[in-house]
Amino acid sequence: MRSEAVLTLSLSKGIMQTILSDVLKQIKELGRQIGGLGNKFGSFTEGLALPSIKILLFDHFNIDEFHKRWKKRVGDKRIDIDGLGLVNGARNEGYVVEVKSHLDMRAIEQVLEIMRNIRTYFPAFADKTFYAMIATADVHEDAFQTAVKEGLYVVGFADELMTFSMPQGFVPKVF
């Protein structure tokens, strides 16, 4: 009787370990799939936003050129910029565009970090005046207020085109 109980316990322990291993594999795969969906939604938002942002920058800021998805590496650090509008000549300005599915505090901090380091990654632009812009599909009011306080342009969807969502008297921060 005792040997049967030990055998049952051993089998149960082995089966439990197998089940636990399978459940952990499924959880890992689910996490990977959810992460992939988030990346796809971000890419989808970029695909919708960047053409409109390009038009806005040419129309509202009279930029000379627009570049999308700029990536640069300096040493072991890397920067990814969703969009960059440049004005050359006397104005010598740059408009850094980051596209986010949701405007939240993390997105704002990411943009501010990019702006703090922009000249490190692009020393050729050392004398440019930079402005930052977040294009977003979903705006949380508290994050919007923080973005305005930080001097960031916020651009959201309206009808078929992106539009500025800035309050009257907004003054952008110079970087």
**Look-up of token digits 């990019």:** 114
Q: Output the pLDDT for position 67.
A: 94
Q: How far is CA 16 from the centre of its chain?
A: 41
Q: Is 156 among the domain residues?
A: yes
Q: Is 171 among the domain residues?
A: no
Q: Is 18 among the domain residues?
A: no
Q: Are 100 and 134 in contact (CB under 8 A)?
A: yes
CA distance 111 to 128: 17
Q: Output the pLDDT for position 137.
A: 81
Q: Output the pLDDT for position 22.
A: 66
Q: Is 50 among the domain residues?
A: yes
Q: Is 7 among the domain residues?
A: no
Rg (CA), the chain: 24
CATH number at residue 146: 3.40.1350.10
Contacts of 128 (CB under 8 A, 6+ apart): 86, 92, 93, 94
Beta partners for residue 93, in sequence order: 87, 129
Q: Are 70 and 108 in contact (CB under 8 A)?
A: no
CA distance 33 to 41: 12
Of 45, 35, 97, the closest CA to residue 69 belongs to 97
Give how many domains the chain has, as a whole number.
1
**Look-up of token digits 């997105």:** 107
Q: Is 71 among the domain residues?
A: yes
Both tokens assigned to 66: 């627009």
Q: Output the pLDDT for position 41.
A: 46
**Which residues of the chain, if any, have pLDDT below 70?**
1-24, 27-48, 158-162
Of 106, 105, 63, 115, the closest CA to residue 88 belongs to 63
Q: Is 77 among the domain residues?
A: yes
**The whole model's pTM is what?**
0.69
CA distance 39 to 26: 20
Per the structure, the complete domain to which residue 159 belongs is given by 43-164
Q: Output the pLDDT for position 132.
A: 96
Q: Is 94 among the domain residues?
A: yes
